[in-house]
Amino acid sequence: MNAAVILFGVFVVCLIIGVPVSVSLGTASLSAVLLGDLGASSTVIAQRIFGGLQSTSIMAIAFFVLAGNLMTKGGISRRIVKFANCLVGNVRGGMGLALVLACAFFAALSGSAPATVIAIGTMLYGDMVDLGYPGDRTAGLLVVSGGLGPIIPPSIIMVIYCTLTGASVSNMFSQGMMIGVTIMVVLMAEVLFFAKKENWPKQNIHYTGKEILKIFLDAVPALMTPVIILGGIYSGLLTATESAAVAVVWATIAGLFIYKELTFKDLIPILKDSAKSAAMILFIIAASTAFSWVFTFSGASQALVDAVVAMHLNKTLFCLVVAIILLIFGTFMEGTAIAVLLVPVLWPIAQSMGIDVIHFGMIVCISNVVGTMTPPVAVNIFSASTVSGLKMGDIAKAEIPFLIGYVAVFFLCVFSETFCTFLLH
């Protein structure tokens, strides 16, 4: 247990003094081995770090990051926004509805919350404010709608969870789609409420049938991307990693030859940016693998399992406690780091209590998304602040009504296993 104390003590100290999460995880793991009397060589940390990346599922993360960047730079996301605005833009608050719908469409392309916020916000926020939409409320809606990114498949956080637990990626994606659509409907209902209450503007642009058809046909190559990704996975023809690789190929073809908004010269900086983003995520996963091994090898993991089991919590109460823990962690840690740090610790307990792996996965994934919207570490708010120029505090205040709707669906997932798994039975 001394090793466990050293492990968490060093980790917390590193976080407090501003050491990056990935380096904090590695430093804490090495310190526990060297000082914790585990009887293991320090070389085991290097072995565990490299071993943590020996999974084909993890390759999907790099491909999804690259595909998202190609789609943003290649004109795919802009056409999705135009198509969404064509569908719902003519009612009061219609641009708000279009923002939510566009985030849902882009979520099926990128799998990333901040990427969704930046991509959709860059294209819609300025126009909405110019039309008379309240800037802070629009930014708040953008923050919460961007949270559809990791829920509607494909989802980077879901791939990580499945890698850690052995859960089926296709099952996670199926349930994520249903829950994501539920959140989308709730947000759109809130948009209609505030549009009426605060007298949001209404566009008077009416599209003819011919214009709608033209916009749709122009968006077909963009809309084909989620069809390729999800169709390949659900049909069983492709794994998540293979679908992500095919999505990269398709996004490249669409950007270069169909929309012609990408050039071969553009590919180099896109590859560099994608490599940096993916490397950050993969480094956290690798370091957390070593951290989890030390936690288990020290006996602390089993002691924690025994302590929780001895409390005789029922499944519902345990899920609620886990949800609260994850929400608290989400206020100061990045979602990927939380998942790779806590899932190996919490999942054995959940498994021993008979909790469904998909139900538990939805709690983990959605709670991590909520963390992207809650200060101080709120990447969605930071991204929206970058797009809008507003202060993070103003955005955080304006997002509260939409966040309440999002969290309401989250707690429905916490308390109802049926809601999280009914498509699988």
Residue 104, number of CB atoms within 10 A of its CB: 25
Residue with tokens 């719908």: 101
**Confidence (pLDDT) at 188:** 93
Q: What is the mean pLDDT of residues 73-88?
A: 78
The DSSP code for 232 is H
**Confidence (pLDDT) at 1:** 53
Q: In terms of Cα–Cα distance, which of 268, 253, 286, 222 is closest to 61?
A: 286
Measured CA distances, 168 to 175, 357, 359 (Å): 11, 9, 12
Tokens of 17: 């003094």
What distance in Å separates the CA atoms of residue 313 and residue 355, rounded to the nearest whole number?
Answer: 12
pLDDT above 70 (res 111): no
Question: Residue 179 — pLDDT band, cuts 50, 70, 90?
Answer: very high
Q: Do 367 and 373 form a contact (C-beta atoms < 8 A)? A: no
Amino acid at 138: T
| Per-residue pLDDT tens digits for 17-31 | 888 877 888 898 888
What distance in Å separates the CA atoms of residue 142 and residue 379, rounded to the nearest whole number?
Answer: 12
Helical H runs in 111-253?
A: 113-131, 135-145, 156-165, 169-197, 209-234, 240-253
| Per-residue pLDDT tens digits for 397-408 | 999 999 999 999
What percentage of the chain exceeds 90 in pLDDT? 18
- Range with the lowest mean pLDDT among 42-46, 377-381, 383-387? 377-381
Q: Do 93 and 200 form a contact (C-beta atoms < 8 A)? A: yes
Q: What is the mean pLDDT of residues 248-255?
A: 89
Q: Do 93 and 195 form a contact (C-beta atoms < 8 A)? A: yes
Residue 6, number of CB atoms within 10 A of its CB: 22
What distance in Å separates the CA atoms of residue 250 and residue 301, rounded to the nearest whole number?
Answer: 44
**Highest mean pLDDT: which range of 91-100, 118-127, 161-170, 398-407:** 398-407
pLDDT above 80 (res 335): no
Question: Residue 89 — pLDDT band, cuts 50, 70, 90?
Answer: low
Q: Do 69 and 273 form a contact (C-beta atoms < 8 A)? A: yes
Question: Residue 390 — pLDDT band, cuts 50, 70, 90?
Answer: confident
Residue 405, number of CB atoms within 10 A of its CB: 18
Residue 39, number of CB atoms within 10 A of its CB: 8
| Per-residue pLDDT tens digits for 272-307 | 988 887 787 778 778 877 887 887 788 776 776 677
Measured CA distances, 280 to 14, 38, 367 (Å): 17, 29, 21
3-state secondary structure (DSSP) of residue 62? helix
HSE on the CB side for 363, CA within 13 Å?
30
What distance in Å separates the CA atoms of residue 19 and residue 14, rounded to the nearest whole number?
Answer: 5
What distance in Å separates the CA atoms of residue 212 and residue 120, rounded to the nearest whole number?
Answer: 21
| Backbone CA torsion sign across 410, 229, 60, 249 | negative
What distance in Å separates the CA atoms of residue 312 and residue 399, rounded to the nearest whole number?
Answer: 38
What distance in Å separates the CA atoms of residue 280 and residue 261, rounded to the nearest whole number?
Answer: 28
Residues 6+ apart with CB under 8 A from 381: 143, 373, 375, 392, 395, 396, 399
What distance in Å separates the CA atoms of residue 51 and residue 73, rounded to the nearest whole number?
Answer: 34
Q: What is the mean pLDDT of residues 78-83?
A: 79
Q: Do 278 and 115 form a contact (C-beta atoms < 8 A)? A: no
What distance in Å separates the CA atoms of residue 83 and residue 76, rounded to the nearest whole number?
Answer: 11
**Highest mean pLDDT: which range of 59-73, 217-231, 347-361:** 347-361
Q: In terms of Cα–Cα distance, which of 360, 346, 358 is closest to 316?
A: 360
| Per-residue pLDDT tens digits for 34-43 | 887 777 788 8
Q: Report phi then psi at 153, rounded to 5.
A: -65, 155
Q: The whole model's pTM is what?
A: 0.76
Q: In terms of Cα–Cα distance, which of 139, 137, 103 is closest to 120?
A: 103
What distance in Å separates the CA atoms of residue 55 and residue 47, rounded to the nearest whole number?
Answer: 14
pLDDT above 70 (res 376): no
Q: How many Å separate Cα 392 from the centre of its chain? A: 20
Amino acid at 239: T
